[in-house]
Structure 1
Amino acid sequence: MATTTLTNDSLIVAGKRVPRMAFGAMRLADPQIWGPPSDREHSVRLVRRAVELGIEHVDTADTYGLGVSEDILREALHPYPENLLISTKIGQVQPRPLEWVPVGHPWFLRHQCEMSLRRLGTDCIDLLYLHRADPSVPFLDQVGALRELQQEGKIAHIGLSEVDIEQVDTARSVITVAAVQNIYNLTTRTWDDVVEYCSQAGIPFVPWFPVMNGDLARSGGVADRIAAETNGTPAQVALAWLLARAEVMCPIPGTSSITHLEENVAATDIELSHEQFAALDAAGTH
């Protein structure tokens, strides 16, 4: 399997023109996303390799490894290149391994932002997402807390994660929404309407968990057949479908493997025909 560097296929996200393929940093932590990895040096090398391959957009969150992911990004990349966009997320806690709970009280969001600033070693976060809307706190109070932090110069741009169209519209009444990050892939199409909304509004859509699972990922399926036709892998085909799905799409595949990282980056070289895209699109909606 060949590796490559990213193409010039780019998009302006949070004021920076970056390649559309990004890197999700959740897997820098341990397998349960609960603490440090067993081999921290490997995680540092992984991040540096991503940048070597042309990645200019790295996405993390304060809950990934209870802050470990942000710590490793600072160790690996600080002082950050001027062209590098680092986004992180607040508004969620992890009371035990693999369990996340939204907490959106404004005072707590401020605390989380301050801790992310400290771990990342910066005075201003390029792009800060509300990780999850807390149903027990008025939504505009949560958005307003991020707006205050932006007004204080601690956030350059604000994003929203796992939100519907109504929430995006509500937020846009008081802030500029720089990006929307929802789960989305070939077989998880819950947020098709939000993708269309973002496409029409020109808002970058950042799909997390961008590689499909289930039947389409298995040997002999449509993705496997098209992978053979394009000299790629099913995972690369899934990422190529996302890039073709909408011009505002910015996938953030995550991995703890340098080999898989290189495979993800190489997905930008796969060009799907109209017929291949349509076959994948139809298979993914069943």
Structure 2
Amino acid sequence: MTSTVFRFDQGLAVRRLGFGAMHLPTEPGPAHEAALTVVRRAVELGVTLIDTAYLYGGGANEELLAEALHPYPDGLLITTKVGVARSGAGGEWKLDGRPAVLRTQVEQGLRRLRLERIELLQLHRIDPETPLADQLGTLRDLRAEGKIGRIGLSEVTVAELDQARRIVDVASVQNRYNVLDREHEPVLEACERAGIAFLPWRPVAAGSSGAKAEIAAVAAEVGATPTQVLLAWLLGRSPVMLPIPGTARLDHLEENLAAEGLHLGQTHRARLDRLHEPA
């Protein structure tokens, strides 16, 4: 039976099916209140991993999570990401892994999330203009200071992951991955060998009409929705897989989390395995 829990180490374990907060509206109004309700319901339903980032509204998404959930229940992991800033010539967003920027974003994230320590802090992207050793060295220093607990990466290749692991312990990787888009299969396999958590963003994809039809057919045969089938496929793909589907709707939230109880047999999994669409 597939385990529903992933253990980062002896001190931190989470339910493998998490929640991505990126799409939650943060502007004042009814949509904001609905977003608070969705996040609270996710935790009521047993979610223990919530993913956010400074990029999501320039910190507004982090503030929303704190508004909804603080004081946090025991066992809840909120992971955030740093390394993208409005430092372009015209104030546009760009990759920015300079040590001072990373340190400021972590310290501001602690304040917005109302935390003393971010248990999992991920580098949103590697900044090609800043030496990787400087970027990860800053996060390592922040970990030594007790401001972060574990360090993760996002959108990396196998070579970049190997390089990073020579500098610092890597607890997680967050790359794009779903049943139709498996460009980062080698990264997933590297994470599995090392016991590193793999958080697929964009975990659900509709694909071409042929893929849609096959996914719908499998869903009808197992008595589930296509979304549930895609999430169940991910959970069965690897024990280090931690999908973080996001939604701003309660019904979709409950649909997503119910995928944890869906078992796909070998025949159905084989049919889904064949749906990989080249980029």
Tell me the TM-score normalized by structure 1.
0.90
Following TM superposition, by how much is the alpha carbon of 1:107 offset from its aligned partner in structure 2, in angstroms? 0.5
Where in structure 2 are the equivalents of 1:241-252 lying within 5 Å?
241-252=233-244
- Give the equivalent residue in structure 1 for 2:34: 42
* Map 1:80-95 → 2, pairs under 5 A: 80-93=72-85
> Are positions 1:135 and 2:117 aligned together?
no
AA at the equivalent of 2:230: A
Distance 2:93 2:30 in 1: 22
The yes-or-no answer on 1:267 pairing with 2:259 is: yes
Distance change >3 Å, CA 233–CA 71, structure 1 → 2: same
Q: Distance in 2 between matches of 1:63 and 1:112?
A: 10
Partner of 1:17: 13
Q: In the TM superposition, what whole-angstrom CA distance separates every residue of 1:85-141 from its partner, at most 9, and x where no partner exists? A: 110000013589xx8521111100111111100100011101000001111111111
Mapped contact 1:177–1:203 kept (Cα < 8 A): yes
- Given candidates 79, 100, 110, the residue that maps to 1:107 is 100
Equivalent residue for 2:44?
52
Letter of the 1:18 partner, please give it.
V
Look up the equivalent residue of 1:279 and give its one-letter code.
R
- Corresponding residue to 2:271 among 257, 279, 285: 279
Which amino acid letter does the alignment assign opposite residue 165 of structure 2? R
Question: Shift of residue 37 of structure 1?
Answer: 6.9
Percent identity over the alignment is: 48
Report the aligned-residue RMSD: 2.0
- Structure 2 equivalent of residue 173 of structure 1: 166
* Separation of aligned partners in 2, 1:36 and 1:209: 27
SS in structure 1 opposite 2:197? coil
From 41, 65, 68, the equivalent of 2:57 is 65
1:249 counterpart SS class: coil
Aligned residues, how many? 273
3-state SS, counterpart of residue 65 of structure 1: coil
Q: CA deviation at 1:283?
A: 1.2
Partners of 1:160 and 1:50 in 2: CA distance: 25
Is there any run of 5+ residues in structure 2 with no aligned partner, and where? none
Deviation digits for residues 227-261 of structure 1, max 9, x if unmatched?
A: 00111111111111111111100000011111111
The TM-score, its normalising length taken from structure 2, stands at 0.92
Q: Secondary structure at the match of 1:189?
A: coil
